[in-house]
Amino acid sequence: MQTDEVADLLADVADRLILPRFGTLDSGDIEEKKPGDLVTVADREAEVEIARVLRAADPGVLVVGEEGVFTDPRSLDALPGAEHAWVIDPVDGTRNFARGRPDFAVMIAEVCRGETVRGWIWQPIHRRLYVAERGAGVTCNGEPLSPPPPSPRSVPLGASYLPVPGEEHAEVRLVRSWGSCGIDYPKLIEGEVDFLCYRSMFPWDHLPGALMVTELGGRIATDTGAPYSAATIGRRLLSATDPQLWQVARDALFGD
């Protein structure tokens, strides 16, 4: 599928299946997959529809969706070696969505032989579309983005969804992130924060934003320095607007 076709698919599914549920969900529309991990009827219906369209365009493609993996993890196991795959996060920031908060997104990554080649982040309430293509940079609503200028902050500012042990003694400053990678990564690449720190590395959460970070000259890797990819397994994931800031944040938070 062409880049614009995928973008149109995200917007269409959001308008038809996600936004009509925003602020109108009742208790029967929300479930816990496991303690603290929510899923809504919008997540499930949006993933099914996006996957249907992607498979119709390429019947042999592997489709890895967050909700589908929860019930059958085999597609996730197949992702690193797949010739061609799509990775879907139908509602990234489900907790925000379920609570009527605007900070959620719909995200897709295209992966070929383990390498992310395109990524899309659509923020339906904010009406902002971020698109990355390997070797071609990043756009926001069709306008090319430049790497953020050098941070004016004397102490690097990062965001993390969960507290980082020892952060109160680190030579960086951490704030809580926005509860959606589809919100966090755009804030990083536009310079609102200098780095992001995560404990989970699910591909649907990070592949689109990771491509955007690296296309703009940043670095994303585990705390051991292993570059992030669809096959990465690790304890912590760190992303920064440039490699030097990545190293500063890594050393400050995790030591030698």
For residue range 6-41, what is the model confidence (pLDDT) as tens digits? 999 999 999 999 999 998 888 788 887 777 778 899
Task: Quickly tell me which residue has 């085999």 as its tokens.
Answer: 74
Q: What pTM value is reported for the model? A: 0.94
What does the pLDDT look like over 33-49, one tens digit per residue? 777 778 899 999 999 99
Q: The domain 3-144: what is its CATH number?
A: 3.30.540.10
**How high is the pLDDT of residue 67?**
87
Does domain 157-254 fall into CATH 3.40.190.80?
yes
Per-domain residue ranges of the chain: 3-144, 157-254
User: Mean pLDDT throughout 137-155?
Assistant: 93
* Beta pairing, strands 137-140 & 128-133: antiparallel
Mean pLDDT of 237-242: 96
Q: What is the mean pLDDT of residues 107-124?
A: 97
